[in-house]
């Protein structure tokens, strides 16, 4: 099923609410705020909105007096440095949080996997023991005809136990596969978080380029 698409107005509103609450505005934070959506698209909509605001503020600067233009350049430079510091901080936090989460999942998955392997080995040994006993029961049934009824009862009980062990083996295998899938999913989420951080760095670098061009334009006047 495709994820629910939220209108840009709702995404921008959520971004303003996060900024008012002094929270980092990331794709994951926006998705948590509005209750769904693709975190990459949510962050893209917010970044485009910020770019449009920066462009709207840049256009009238060309008509400002020299003193005001210099002040704007100073403030813009400080803003760019602040955004870069924020981007580095957000990137570090996102990567560290993702790595910690993945490490915890891998550790937990490893423990469950080891437990499942131990139970699987025990169950396999149990199956071997049951098969041995089953063979012995068949031999005794052939040799001791007068105990045929008793042997058949024992054989049926062992067959039931064998089926239960087989079912237990299937459940253990299913649980181990589920933990491995969870580990794969967390690795994918970690890679996505790193991609988001890279996009954020690219946005900041683009903003720095715009600021540099603006400062050069102001300096040439």
- The candidate with the shortest Cα–Cα distance to 90, out of 141, 12, 183, 28, is 28
Q: What is the mean pLDDT of residues 148-157?
A: 81
pLDDT value at 24 more than 50: yes
Tokens at residue 59, please? 């256009």
- In terms of pLDDT, which residue wins out, 34 or 94? 34
Highest mean pLDDT of the ranges 17-21, 127-131, 212-216 = 17-21
Q: Which of 44-48, 129-133, 187-191 has the lowest mean pLDDT?
A: 129-133
Tokens at residue 12, please? 């921008």
Going from N- to C-terminal start, the domains of the chain cover 1-63, 64-219
pLDDT value at 150 more than 60: yes
Q: Are 217 and 59 in contact, with CB atoms under 8 Å apart? A: no
pLDDT score at 85? 81
Phi-psi label, residue 156: left if phi above 0, alpha if psi -120 to 50, beta otherwise: alpha
The structure tokens 């996102």 sit at 94
pLDDT score at 47? 95
DSSP string, the chain: -PPPP--HHHHHHHHHHHHHTT----HHHHHHHHT-S-HHHHHHHHHHHHHHHHHHHHGGGGGS-HHHHHHHHHHHHHHHHHHHHHHHHHHHHHHHHHHHHHHHHHHHHHHHHHHHHHHHHHHHHHHHHHHHHHHHHHHHHHH-GGGHHHHHHHHHHHHHHHHHHHHHHHHHHHHHHHHHHHHHHHHHHHHHHHHHHHHHHHHHHHHHHHHHHHHHHHHT-
Mind listing the pLDDT tens digit for each residue in 60-94? Answer: 545 667 677 678 778 887 887 888 788 778 878 87
Q: Which of 63-67, 102-106, 122-126, 161-165 has the lowest mean pLDDT?
A: 63-67
Where does the pLDDT of residue 110 fall: very low under 50, low under 70, confident under 90, or very high at 90 and above?
confident
Mind listing the pLDDT tens digit for each residue in 46-56? Answer: 999 999 887 55
Where does the pLDDT of residue 25 fall: very low under 50, low under 70, confident under 90, or very high at 90 and above?
very high
pLDDT value at 1 more than 50: no
Quickly name the fold that domain 64-219 has: Helix Hairpins (1.10.287)
Tokens at residue 163, please? 């089926």
Cβ burial, residue 137 (10 Å; 0-12/13-18/19+)? middle
Q: Give the CA-trace dihedral at 59, 63, 64, 70, to 10 degrees.
A: 70
pLDDT value at 3 more than 60: no
């Amino acid at each position: 099923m495709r994820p629910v698409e939220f209108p840009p107005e709702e995404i921008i509103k959520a971004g303003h609410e996060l900024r008012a609450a002094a929270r980092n505005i990331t794709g994951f934070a926006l998705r948590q705020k509005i209750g769904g959506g693709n975190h990459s698209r949510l962050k893209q909509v917010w970044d485009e909105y910020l770019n449009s605001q920066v462009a709207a503020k840049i256009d009238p600067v060309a008509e400002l007096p020299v003193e005001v233009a210099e002040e704007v350049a100073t403030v813009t430079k400080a803003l760019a440095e602040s955004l870069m510091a924020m981007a580095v901080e957000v990137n570090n936090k996102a990567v560290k949080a993702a790595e910690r989460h993945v490490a915890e999942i891998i550790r937990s998955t490893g423990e469950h996997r080891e437990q499942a392997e131990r139970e699987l080995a025990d169950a396999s040994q149990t199956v071997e023991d049951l098969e041995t006993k089953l063979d012995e029961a068949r031999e005794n049934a052939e040799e001791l005809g007068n105990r045929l009824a008793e042997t058949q009862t024992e054989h049926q009980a062992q067959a039931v136990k064998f089926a239960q062990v087989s079912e237990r083996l299937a459940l253990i295998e299913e649980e181990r596969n589920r933990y491995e899938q969870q580990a794969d999913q967390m690795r994918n989420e970690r890679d996505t978080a790193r991609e988001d951080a890279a996009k954020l760095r690219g946005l900041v670098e683009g903003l720095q380029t715009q600021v540099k061009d603006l400062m050069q334009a102001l300096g040439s006047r």
